[in-house]
Structure 1
Amino acid sequence: MRGIVLACGNSQSPMITDGDRFEVRRVAERPGKAEVDAVLADSGDKRLVVHGTDADLNAVVLRLLRTERLADVPIGFVPADPRSEVARLWGLPTDQGRALDLALSGDPDRVPLVRDDVGGVLVGLGSLGPVRGVGYGDDTVVLRGQASRLEVTPDPEGGPGLVVHVIHKRLFGKKVTSTAARAFQLGCLPVQVNLDGVAHPRPMGKWTWYRHTEDLRLIRGVQ
């Protein structure tokens, strides 16, 4: 199947050039409305492949959400960074050749899309901390007091939508408590929130992540 590869920022690979199976569109890192929407308008039935960072994928998925294209645009991911949390979470190849083959030939799976209450999305890892406050995973108290760090990801195990990891560092090692939920709500002393590797512009005293009603069609199935 033909696809359009969005080469984001400085993401470069000698194998990712225009070919029979795909065309390459070079865009800025974390591309915005004008760039992504122009590609979506031309995409037709082509799949969309993001070559870049988790933050780049986040920016493209946000435009799919805003333009109501989640249901009809399969999206593949070729990580520019082998440490990609998205790749780790969903078992995607970090070798760029294998990742590109999968993105162009694999089957799309429906995976949870996580949103926040300030208009953003989360495709890999959200984190904050150190934190002091009260947090709920649905109706369950997952934090009362302080923690070294909180991490939230989409749920890769078919649960209600997301997983909250509460991390307490100890003198030797750390204690991690994990809770699956559809939504996570936190009220706390102002804390820095990080979304797919990008810091939110200002410290926040409350934050919510929740599963969107529509899933993301992420290409990660067998070729």
Structure 2
Amino acid sequence: MRGIVLACGNAQSPLIAQRDDVVAVPARPGKDHVDHHLDADRLVVVGTDADLAAVALRLLRKEKLGSVALGYVPVADSSVAALWGLSTDPGRALDVALNGDVDPVPLVRDDVGGVLVGLGVLSPVRGVGYSDADNVLRGQASRIECTPDPDGGLGLRIRIVNKRLFGSKVRESRPRAFQLGCLPTTAVQDGHKHPRPVDKWTWYRHTEDLRLVRGL
């Protein structure tokens, strides 16, 4: 089955308006709007990083990561595009998403049932954190950032940021998993704020990669 373009939320573009393979879905679409399209060889998400993560989660839940490629046309500032070198020009991005080659990239999961495809942030933080078995935080940090590791590696790139009067001090690690126990803090995943403060958080690499269309 050919590819399907998922226009998420208010995503609109003359480039997709007249196409017969476009399906309008809500922002951060769930199973009712995604699952019956999972027989396609390729899904193209036109939307935000949070929309892309929502579709990736459905691929994970339905065990379709190995068979469905995922293309992306960002409609806003995108950590995913910056991380993986995707075009932010709508025409170029759509062409690559529909016709480009697939490149497996790490898929990051969390311990509350979600996935991370771009940038995750915990802020502010006071607690204890581990990258795999290494203690990388004991005390406070302005923020903790997590992305999939663009160099592959074990899967995650963790940045612990402490703001200072002149600049910031950053400690970076590249583990397979990161665990944090802390005083209640705010979690933001791919631009979407978690509904409640959290006092623990885990990111870890899934056993199967995301088949992202990068056109390399």
Is residue 47 of structure 2 the alignment partner of residue 60 of structure 1? no
How far the C-alpha of 1:3 sits from its partner, in A, is 1.8
- CA–CA distance in structure 1, aligned partners of residues 190 and 176 of structure 2: 19
Question: 1:59, 1:185 → 2: CA distance?
Answer: 23
Q: Could you tell me how far apart the structure 2 residues matched to 1:220 and 1:177 are?
A: 29
Question: Among residues 20, 23, 30, which one is paired with 2:21 in the alignment?
Answer: 23
The 3-state SS of whatever aligns with 1:86 is helix
1:139 to partner: Cα distance: 1.0
Shift of 1:135: 0.3
CA contact (8 A) 1:187 1:205 kept: yes
> Is the CA contact (8 Å cut-off) linking 1:17 and 1:23 kept in structure 2?
no
The equivalent residue for 1:99 is 93
**What is the deviation of 1:18?**
4.4
What is the distance in 2 between the residues matched to 1:158 and 1:196? 19
Note the C-alpha offset of 1:196.
Answer: 0.5
Among 106, 117, 120, the residue aligned to 2:111: 117
Following superposition of structure 1 onto structure 2, how do residues 21-170 of structure 1 map, counting pairs within 5 Å? Answer: 23-41=21-39, 43=40, 46-81=41-76, 83-170=77-164
Distance of 1:187 and 1:23 partners within structure 2: 45
**Match in the other structure for 2:190:** 196
Mapped to 2, the partners of 1:74 and 1:98 lie a distance apart of: 18
Alignment map for 1:171-210 (pairs within 5 Å): 171-210=165-204
In the alignment, structure 1 segments of 5+ residues that lack a partner are none
> What letter matches 1:61 in structure 2?
A
Measured in 2, the distance between the counterparts of 1:5 and 1:161 equals 28
Distance 1:124 1:178 in 2: 17
For 2:151, give the aligned amino acid. Answer: E
CA contact (8 A) 1:2 1:104 kept: no
Q: Measure how far apart 1:39 and its partner are.
A: 1.7
CA positional deviation for 1:201: 1.2
Report the 3-state secondary structure (helix = DSSP H, G, I; strand = E; otherwise coil) of the residue aligned with 1:160: coil
Aligned position for 1:10: 10
Cα distance between partner residues in 1 of 2:120 and 2:97: 24
Change over 3 Å in CA distance of 1:17–1:2 after alignment to 2 = farther
Using the aligned pairs only, state the percent identity.
Answer: 67
3-state secondary structure, aligned to 2:129: strand
CA-CA distance at 1:33 after TM superposition: 0.8
* CA shift digits 1:14-57 (9 cap, x unpaired): 011344xx61000001011110012224x2xx311000000000
Return the letter of the residue paired with 1:35.
H
Root-mean-square deviation over aligned CA pairs: 1.2
Q: Does structure 2 retain, via aligned residues, the 8 Å contact 1:182–1:211?
A: yes
| Structure 1: distance between partners of 2:87 and 2:29 | 23
In the alignment, is the contact (CA less than 8 A) between 1:57 and 1:123 conserved in 2?
A: yes
CA gap 1:69/1:61 in 2 versus in 1, 3 angstroms: same
Q: Which runs of 4+ in 1 moved over 3 A?
A: none
How far apart are the structure 1 equivalents of 2:22 and 2:86? 21
**CA contact 1:117–1:208 (8 Å) conserved in 2:** yes
